[in-house]
Amino acid sequence: MVATIAGGGVATAAQASDGVTTAAPARASLAVIDDFPRDPAPWSDFDWAQRARDFDSYLYDWTDRGVYTTIYDDPAPLNMPAGSKSYRVPAYYGDTRVLQAEGHQESVAQMASVVGATLVGIDKSNQGGRNYVDMLRTFFHPELGVARNTPDGSDDAPGSQSMWYATTANVLYSMLGAQYPHATDMDQIQRSIADKHYEMLQTLGGPNADLTMQDFDFATMTPHRGGRNEGGDVAAGTSAILLWAYERFGDTKYLDGATWAMDYLARAKSSLYYEMLPVLAPYVAARLNAEAGTDYDVVHMFSQIRLGLEGNVRPNWGIMGGDGWDGFDTQSLSGSRTDMQGYAFAMNSFATPWLAATAKYDTRFADAVGLWMLNLYNAGRFFYADQMSPALQQDGDRFINDPAHVIAYEGLRHRAPGRSSLVASADVYDRAGSWGLNPATTNLGIYGSSWVGWMGGTVHPTNVSKVLRTDLNALDMYSGSYPTSLYYNPGTSDAEVEVAVDGTRDLYDSARDAILASAATGTTRITVPAGSSIVLVQLPAGAPRTTSGHEVLVDGVGVRWDTDPQRDLALGASAQASVGDAAAVTDGDPGTFWSSSRADEQQVRVDLGETRRVSEVSAQWRNRPTGDVRVDTSMDGQSWSPLGEASAPVDGAFTGIARDARYVRLSVDGGGLGQQQLVALEVRQRDLALGAPATASSTANALNVPAHLTDGSDFTRWESNASDPQWVQLDLGRVRAVGSVRLSWETAAGKAYRVELSDDGSTWATAAQVDNGDGGIDEIALAAGSTGRYLRIMGTTRLTTWAYSLYSVEAYAPAAVPATSQPAPAISLDAARIGAGGSVTVTGTGFDAGERVLLELHSDPVALGDATTGPDGTFTRTVVIPAGTAAQAHEIVARGESSGRAARAELAVYEQGGSNGGNPSDGGNGNGNGNGNGQVLPSPSPSAAGDTQSLASTGGSGVAGGLLAGALALIGGALLFAVRRSRERAED
């Protein structure tokens, strides 16, 4: 069935269920990934979950197939109590090495197969009467306190003397602990693995841990630096291990360790991608940012695993990228970009969904993750014999119809000896001798295929071809999240996708912070916008959403995190004041405020927690100050740099040239009565160029592209050809006022260059000229009044013989301060004339919020009462004019008790009684007092004449008299006389 959505129809990501149109989500740019094809070819839908189940069924079939047996008994497993049982699986199909040496089975095959099968719903703790989970304890070495790639762990065992292998084994065991938390010894094993990895980090420098090494000896707690650096894999894997341990045990030392390991990656100036574990880095960074308040550069972490270059720790290792191979879109696969002109591996590629949950914790990357998973979903099948023609396989048609076709080829080569096209193949045929492989060993890699569950548990087809559902919880261990999935639509038309709803749920798009369907059940249709994505969270029906800092929660569970680089950096930050509690200015609650006397100089200081880039500070006042206001920033809390100063400003922003700062201070000069009340102090980096499309005169290679200049990362860069002149141009989206730019150069910088602006991209005006650039950071103030839609950096002379190389271009609005305006208080009356003893309603505006306002009839003076203003400084109060009040013009005065400011309004009072309106011909004065004395009383001013209109005035003194008012009074008297005569005739 199709569930009915509130209001009928189909829920769209652009329109919430209440009909409110929501803004498109912020989107992060990922060069290279953004260039993946939207229509990957050759296309075929593929059921990855079924392939994973079929692989498990074949691998764990105990049938004796001779040399092609896929599982063997291990009657006396190492590292386990006497009498225990375990098993062994080979690395390749037909590989018998596991029978030739005790304990040489590998975790990347055996442990991965159990974790992967569990991801597609298979209970490996009780499969055919066997508990394969408990049997994996053979990989845990009690004497070391950690797992190793093999039970043997000796120097001649597969994967020995290699830390990426060892770290992978412990990552897999950590995942196993999340899947089977109550398995035998699991708590003890998980605690030990976490403790040992934390101790390793302490040994290597704690917060400054240097993980540059090939291996680590957990027995002696010493690193082996070796001849290669596998530290990137160690860092990413260790950070995941400790983050998950923190979630399991709650020990904050593990969270500290997770950040220490991630810091090693963050400090890297080039890619540390050695084998596969850095695929975890974007996800771990995004989760730490969301849940632990860190500020890791997620673009940087993605960049670690993109196109490898010659200078990386493993030259040219990364994703394939480019234009694909021979009509096959292989861009999303991972491996070597240069071996065989491109050599992708099944294990590395199948593990890629580890990064998928990045989109849950940072929805800016939803489109990039969705596009990557789309391409991987299609290209990953190229490793299978039944998905490729015989001509494109090392073994021809041997396995196409063989049950073993559920085992993938180890790799996919762009070229191979004697071949002019891509081929599904392996290392086996050219490395068999050095590895000791028996002749029957095939090119089908069991170890790589064991990771197919990462694909099967994460990436799923929908009812719309090429619109996939990526399960963002599948590989996000210990998250406790509601069901969360990414739907990405690569097409040019909106897609109507069916969603299977678990019970009765509200369907929430966390990318747009909008409910798409309320109380949905069964199968619900949602519309995914063309070329975009939604991050769909199935919430308990009717559960309210609350906000804590940058996090949106439902029943205490995080469902959305504001990760926009231009968000309020002060939200939730520590704040102190010269007097009083300043926490209210950063708590995000518009109902709370910091209050202080206007008489004395006051200060509020906000600690952002770490160095951030700041260009804008906004103050929101409840009661505005009367003294001058200054905003300063500081790196250390001691030396301060001014951002702006204004006199008694209204709400608004102080803007200036961007600077790095940890502390922000707002100072208010003394002077004036009452109190100033500050609701919020918001701090932002308002970069006009963030995410702007960029083009350039040239690009030196496929990795260092112009899009890097506006991706928000200080790790990525653009590199031109090595010649003059060169330029890079940004489209700011519309004509804007630009006050400054900030350029971050590599060593290969511009010595002489111009900053130019244009409205149309054709006619350019120079806004700044630099003649002696020396690289590093250039903060450049532009000529006053500079505006334009297009911003261009025109390099005319290079600083070195190399190219122009820029990390980032940022643009900021001109320096400004909030307007100075202190609106005068004002009151208005609901009547201009009233009889003594009657009542009048007074409405006031422009007073301080929450202050007591005293009301009096000024001419006597007589106290009429008081009122308390609301948060907007307004009040309404009905007062009674005393019965004995003289019949004449009066003023009602409203005076703020704390601010001392006052407002006045005129009121004409007549005596209550008599005929209430004498006839002028009978001596009545026409003012309604019936005294028959022929006197015309002073009247309200012409601006408020007429007793049916309100009378208003500001803080100036009242003006008595007015001919127009007198005339109206006479008319009023005549009307009353006519009414009286009419009544008399009726009585007769």
Per-residue model confidence as pLDDT tens digits over 409-420 = 999 999 988 888
CA distance 517 to 498: 13
The burial class, CB within 10 Å (0-12 / 13-18 / 19+), for 126 is exposed
Per residue in 899-931, pLDDT tens? Answer: 778 899 999 999 876 434 333 333 333 333 333
- Residue 556: per-residue pLDDT: 95
- Residue 309: per-residue pLDDT: 66
Tokens 């190229």 found at? 382
Residue 306 has pLDDT above 50, yes or no: yes
| Angle at 717 (CA atoms; ends 266, 744), nearest 5 degrees | 85
DSSP letters along 952-975, please? EE-SSPP----HHHHHHHHHHHHH
- Residue 674: per-residue pLDDT: 84
Query: Is the distance from CB of 447 to CB of 383 less than 8 angstroms?
Result: no
CA distance 243 to 53: 29
- Residue 272: per-residue pLDDT: 92
Portion of the chain with pLDDT greater than 70, in percent: 88
CA distance 701 to 705: 7
- Residue 859: per-residue pLDDT: 67
Q: If you ran DSSP here, which 8-state letter would residue 120 be given?
A: T
- Residue 12: per-residue pLDDT: 47
- Please give the single-letter amino acid code of residue 196: K
Query: Is the distance from CB of 501 to CB of 524 less than 8 angstroms?
Result: yes
The burial class, CB within 10 Å (0-12 / 13-18 / 19+), for 961 is middle
Per residue in 428-482, pLDDT tens? Answer: 867 766 778 889 999 999 999 999 999 999 999 999 999 999 999 999 999 999 9
- Residue 648: per-residue pLDDT: 80
Per residue in 817-868, pLDDT tens? Answer: 988 766 789 999 999 999 999 999 999 998 888 889 999 988 668 899 999 9
Higher local confidence (pLDDT), 399 or 25: 399
> Facing residues of 86 across strands?
74
Q: What is the mean pLDDT of residues 234-256?
A: 98
Q: What is the mean pLDDT of residues 524-537?
A: 97
810's enclosing H/E stretch is strand 805-812
Query: Is the distance from CB of 654 to CB of 646 less than 8 angstroms?
Result: yes
Tokens of 148: 């190793």
CA distance 642 to 93: 69
3-state secondary structure 595-650: EEECCCCEEEEEEEEEEEEEEEEEEEEEECCCCEEEEEEECCCCCEEEEEEEECEC
Tokens of 925: 């004065």
Residue 876 has pLDDT above 60, yes or no: yes
Higher local confidence (pLDDT), 241 or 912: 241
Residue 632 has pLDDT above 50, yes or no: yes
Residue 701 burial (CB count, 10 A): 10
Residue 933 has pLDDT above 60, yes or no: no
Distances 701 to 301, 530, 615 between C-alpha atoms, Å: 20, 31, 33
- Residue 957: per-residue pLDDT: 35
Query: Is the distance from CB of 736 to CB of 686 less than 8 angstroms?
Result: no
What counts of helices (H) and strands (E) characterise the chain? 16, 48
Query: Is the distance from CB of 832 to CB of 950 less than 8 angstroms?
Result: yes
- Mean model confidence pLDDT for the chain: 89
CA distance 260 to 305: 20
Give CA 275 to chain center in angstroms.
28
**pLDDT band, residue 313 (cuts 50/70/90):** confident
Per residue in 141-175, pLDDT tens? Answer: 999 999 999 999 899 999 999 999 999 999 999 99
- Residue 421: per-residue pLDDT: 92
Tokens of 117: 């099968």
Tokens of 568: 């309020």
Q: Where are the alpha helices (DSSP H) in 293-408?
A: 298-304, 346-350, 358-361, 366-379
Residue 618 has pLDDT above 70, yes or no: yes
Higher local confidence (pLDDT), 110 or 980: 110
* Nearest one of 729, 728, 797, 720 to 758, comparing CA atoms: 729
Q: Are strands 343-345 and 334-336 parallel, antiparallel or unpaired?
A: antiparallel
The burial class, CB within 10 Å (0-12 / 13-18 / 19+), for 638 is exposed
Residue 121 has pLDDT above 80, yes or no: yes
Tokens 């630099």 found at? 770
Residue 778 has pLDDT above 50, yes or no: yes
* Nearest one of 698, 703, 697, 699 to 716, comparing CA atoms: 703
What is the pTM (predicted TM-score) of this model?
0.84
Please, which residues have CB within 8 angstroms of residue 175's CB and are 6 or more apart in sequence?
115, 244, 475, 477
Query: Is the distance from CB of 829 to CB of 841 less than 8 angstroms?
Result: yes
